[in-house]
Structure 1
Amino acid sequence: MINNKNKTIYPSLAGRHALVSGGASGIGEALVRALAQQGCLVSFFDIDQAAGDALAKELKAQGYQAHFDLVDLTQIETLKDTIHGRMSVWGTIRVLVNNAANDHRHTLQELTSEQFDQCMSVNLKHHFFAAQAVAPAMAEAGGGSIINMSSNSWMLGLAGYPGYVTAKAGISGLTKGLARELGAQKIRVNTVLPGWVMTEKQKRLWLTPEAEAELMTQQSLKEKIEPEDVADLVLFLGADDSRMISGQSLVVDGGRL
């Protein structure tokens, strides 16, 4: 690890193939940018083609290696085929960040069985099958890092989206199981649980002066969490500097929990 003018550089990440799901905007966009700036070959998936194409074009113009694919992560066979296709071009994925999610608000009574299944597909299922797709080659290459993005919402027991909270709790369980499953192959699996991160979507839909004031009373650190704050932790977990950290749930919420 090298600290270069307040920007931490992880030499072990340079040249490694990293994959980020949901990478076109929000936290995912910050992850893609941060990994690219470390010298990774960054593949990223999203359903927002315009944003994905724009981000890839911008990063390439800056001299970074980034490739975007339009992928609906609920289509598992397409997800796996696209992952294998990217590995045929850039080699084994050594850092997988399962980030894509949708925190659509809903109540217990209004969620149908079909909507519940869709919620699990968008927020949990693809984590499992992306890991399944990358693990054999990752093990053959000598190991790697799988980072599952969850949320502190299930630990806080927040109301307003019970299906989402269920999925996010499941991610932490999945991480524990995969860490045991894959540890002998030098594959580390960890969960990152962000708090309320101030993405453009959050600002547009839910951030009000009243909500911000209440959040500041709950957080120990009296500053808003930015996507880059989450990316900083993901870089550490993706790099060899965290080589003995696995099966853990690491929270980035300003001390709210």
Structure 2
Amino acid sequence: MSSQEEQWRESLRGKVVLVTGAGSGLGEATARAFAATGCRLACLDINQTELERVSQALEAEGNEVLACGCDVSQAEAVEQSVARVLGRWPHIDVAVNCAAIDHTLSVTEMSVAQWDQVIGVNLRGPFLVARALFPVMRQQGGGHIINVASTAALRAWANASAYHASKWGLLGFSRALSVEGRPHGIRVTTIIPGGMRTHFFDRFLTQGIPLPPPELLQDPATVAATIVFAASLPTESALQEILVTPLNETSWP
């Protein structure tokens, strides 16, 4: 790492970072990556058991952590979590929307409730977080919202209609949000990762779908490091969108 990059990372020390989906997968890796820079962590997740596991592990390592059980698809839950964070710390500098779900079903097999759940977590959730944080970030003179999309926002495959809709929508939402945030010093970055070695594919096991070969997936810690790098840039610059894939990514190009 160059001295300039070290200086950028050092600039994150003490900042408050809110991470959704922090109880597992990329969310957990992201929380750990920001903790390594000396950030204070607000960890949000709907799975209370996993949330406590991650939060307690980070606290045991000497990090300042606030754990908030939160269903990001619910406006009141998001607003209450943001209020709790601001009750602990006077500002929120970075928010990373990692929470995501999918139902791997054809459009004829997917129920309306399943469709709504995917859109609710993957697209409505980042909207609710941004809606709650924009007034806060405007008042404090800036901030950074990082939305995690997917290569599913760039290409399409069968039995993932809701997931594709949510991630294509998130990409468009992020671009519009970036325009709205600029006058207020609010940066918006979209991370577009390819396949990762996380629990995300566990649902395949119950549906009899073959798991992707591990060699075609990447370590979520690598994507988390990319997120931290985006957040560490001087505020005069913004990484608008970053595509990071395994070398042998099958869904790109």
TM-score, length of structure 1 as denominator length: 0.87
Question: Matched residues in 1 for 2:236 and 2:64: separation?
Answer: 25
Contact 1:145–1:237 (CA<8 Å) still a contact in 2?
no
Corresponding position of 1:38? 37
Query: Per-residue deviation at 1:242?
Result: 6.4
Question: Matched residues in 2 for 1:250 and 1:175: separation?
Answer: 12
Q: Where in structure 2 are there 5+ consecutive unaligned residues?
A: none
Corresponding position of 1:78? 77
Residue type of the partner of 1:34?
A
Query: Per-residue deviation at 1:118?
Result: 2.1
How is 1:49-68 mapped onto 2 (pairs within 5 angstroms)?
Answer: 49-68=48-67
Residue type of the partner of 1:254?
P
Corresponding position of 1:235? 228
Corresponding position of 1:219? none
After superposition, give the CA deviation of every residue in 1:189-235 in whole Å (9 maximum; x if it has no partner): 011011110114437846x998428x75xxxxxxx410111111110
How is 1:89-100 mapped onto 2 (pairs within 5 angstroms)?
Answer: 89-100=88-99
Corresponding position of 1:251? 243
User: In the alignment, does 2:22 pair up with 1:29?
Assistant: no
Contact 1:188–1:243 (CA<8 Å) still a contact in 2?
no
Question: Matched residues in 2 for 1:81 and 1:73: separation?
Answer: 11
- The verdict on how the C-alpha distance between 1:9 and 1:176 changes in structure 2, with shifts beyond 3 A counting, is closer
Corresponding position of 1:177? 176
User: In the alignment, does 2:219 pair up with 1:226?
Assistant: yes
Contact 1:17–1:91 (CA<8 Å) still a contact in 2?
no
Contact 2:153–2:167 (CA<8 Å) still a contact in 1?
yes
User: In the alignment, does 2:121 pair up with 1:128?
Assistant: no
After superposition, give the CA deviation of every residue in 1:235-254 in whole Å (9 maximum; x if it has no partner): 011123464125x2211113
Q: Where in structure 1 are there 5+ consecutive unaligned residues?
A: 217-223
Contact 1:236–1:242 (CA<8 Å) still a contact in 2?
no
Corresponding position of 1:19? 18
Question: Matched residues in 2 for 1:18 and 1:129: separation?
Answer: 16
User: In the alignment, does 2:102 pair up with 1:110?
Assistant: no
Corresponding position of 1:152? 151
Query: Per-residue deviation at 1:23?
Result: 0.4
Q: In structure 1, the residue corresponding to 2:66 is in which secondary structure?
A: strand
Question: Matched residues in 1 for 2:110 and 2:102: separation?
Answer: 13
Residue type of the partner of 2:213?
E
Number of residue pairs matched? 247
Q: In structure 1, the residue corresponding to 2:11 is in which secondary structure?
A: helix
Question: Matched residues in 1 for 2:44 and 2:107: separation?
Answer: 30
Provide the alpha-carbon RMSD of the alignment.
Answer: 2.6
Contact 2:153–2:171 (CA<8 Å) still a contact in 1?
no
Structure 1 stretches of 4+ with a deviation exceeding 6 A read 6-9
User: In the alignment, does 2:140 pair up with 1:162?
Assistant: no
Q: In structure 2, the residue corresponding to 1:30 is in which secondary structure?
A: helix
